[in-house]
Amino acid sequence: MADTAKFEAATIASYYQAINNGQSTVPGASVQMTQAMDAEYPGMSREWREGILAGTDALMEYLGHQPNSTDTSWLYAHYDGRTKSIPGSASTDLINYIWDTFSKKQKDIFTGKKDSWNTADVYMTKKVDDMKMRKMIDALKEEFDDLDPEIYVGTVNAYMSQMLKEKKMLPISLKQKTKNANVRIYETNLKLGPDGLEVKDGSVETPLKTVMDVATRRGETDFAGNSLRFAARFEAGTYAKKYSWESKGSSKTADATEPRDLVLNNKGKYTTATARNGSIPGPKMADLVKTYTGEDINLNIPMNRVLNDKEVSYWQNYIKTIISTKNPNVPIDLGKFTIDSKKVKPEEFIKMIALMDNGRPGGKNFDQKMRAKLRHLRYIKMFYDADKKKKLGELISFAYFLSSKMNIKQGDLAGPFIKVQ
């Protein structure tokens, strides 16, 4: 079992021990708690253990559960499998069951990935309501299954949202604790549609940086850095967030774009959260680019051949426009434009990296990274254009919500959950 799965199993085990059995969450104070967590995650580090127990304290506060008291009214589950330390009589599989009721067309909305619907890693249900909820899901399936696939999913989400509000079902998304930061509970997707998510403000806090420098080391040609990075902040509804953005090529056609929270540590300084929120799904990222620029995400980026002269000219003009725009609301840092330490003009840089391309992007080679660099220029234009339309805050907040699987409009179908972070 991978460390992440062990972390999840140890976390739900700690919830069971603290709530069902009244065991202490003070690290090392309860032998029973320690043994249960060790059964799920042998050799767990002290940092992970303390983070899990801090999250358990936050969950008990959210539920109004008094520490060291017992409450046997809950059932517990790890989505990816049974836990060794929780008996079958205290276990449920309700959210697994709900996902399994989705038809292929319904699952295809989320490209067949459960986490694109609901990021719950573990969950809890009230014993007295578990079977009632299962029967309600069956009834919804019978009533809505033959309609458009979005209708059944949306109806299930609305029902789960109500059950979460009533604290009868707790889908829980786990994030590793950031050192010296408090753990909090965030309710997500309890409201359908944009209610509470009106964008109030948003800004780019550090330059959008993607380094246009190439060097050859040990016979390998590579960029000095392969990511687009910057920090941003926004206020939308009840959310006020600072986060860092990172985009880097994950395939020949797409990037992995993963925002991370910037959190205050106990010294009053912002630090990057240990855990990522998740990545913006590829189709959603393409939609963002199209919405704000009017351009397809891979326009003039051929996938199975080298750039032709027309495409090279397109990107030469593109980068000249990016550099000459000089928008103070969207500062940029494109590096020094060097090839093996020799400085060249931006247009020449584009021509030279196109000549280095063999037209077969894939794996860790230069071809894939070059295409990612071209998309990075398009992302910069996306922020330029959003600011020009007075929608910079909207873009910054929407990107964050998409990575966190938060709903930003009625048609989005990510399910409700609470995040322990």
Is 262 in the same domain as 371?
A: yes
Q: Looking at the predicted structure, is the pLDDT value of residue 266 above 80? A: no
- The whole-number pLDDT of residue 201 equals 86
Where is pLDDT greater, at 220 or 94?
94
- Are 201 and 235 contacting, i.e. CB atoms less than 8 angstroms apart? yes
Is 40 in the same domain as 94?
A: yes
Where is pLDDT greater, at 277 or 341?
341
- Are 20 and 74 contacting, i.e. CB atoms less than 8 angstroms apart? yes
Is 396 in the same domain as 416?
A: no
Count of the separate structural domains present in the chain:
2
Residue 194 placed within a domain: no
Residue 322 placed within a domain: yes
Is 283 in the same domain as 184?
A: no
Helix, strand or coil for residue 301?
Answer: coil
- The whole-number pLDDT of residue 409 equals 61
pLDDT digits (tens, 9 = 90+) for 306-360: 999 999 999 999 999 999 999 999 999 999 999 999 999 999 999 999 998 876 5
CB within 8 A of 325, min separation 6: which ones? 384
Which run of H or of E encompasses 412?
none
Average pLDDT estimate for 301-305: 92
Is 165 in the same domain as 206?
A: no
- The whole-number pLDDT of residue 192 equals 47
Is 135 in the same domain as 255?
A: no
- Are 314 and 298 contacting, i.e. CB atoms less than 8 angstroms apart? no
Is 164 in the same domain as 17?
A: yes
Range of the domain at 183: 3-188+412-420
Residue 253 placed within a domain: yes
- Sheet with 342-343, edge to edge strand ranges: 220-223, 213-217, 338-339, 342-343
Is 29 in the same domain as 171?
A: yes
Is 222 in the same domain as 134?
A: no
Is 156 in the same domain as 219?
A: no
Short-list 416, 408, 421, CA closest to 167: 416
Burial class (CB in 10 A: 0-12, 13-18, 19+), 5: middle
Out of 24-28, 279-283, 385-389, 405-409, pick the least confident.
Answer: 405-409
Is 151 in the same domain as 222?
A: no
Is 217 in the same domain as 168?
A: no
Residue 193 placed within a domain: no
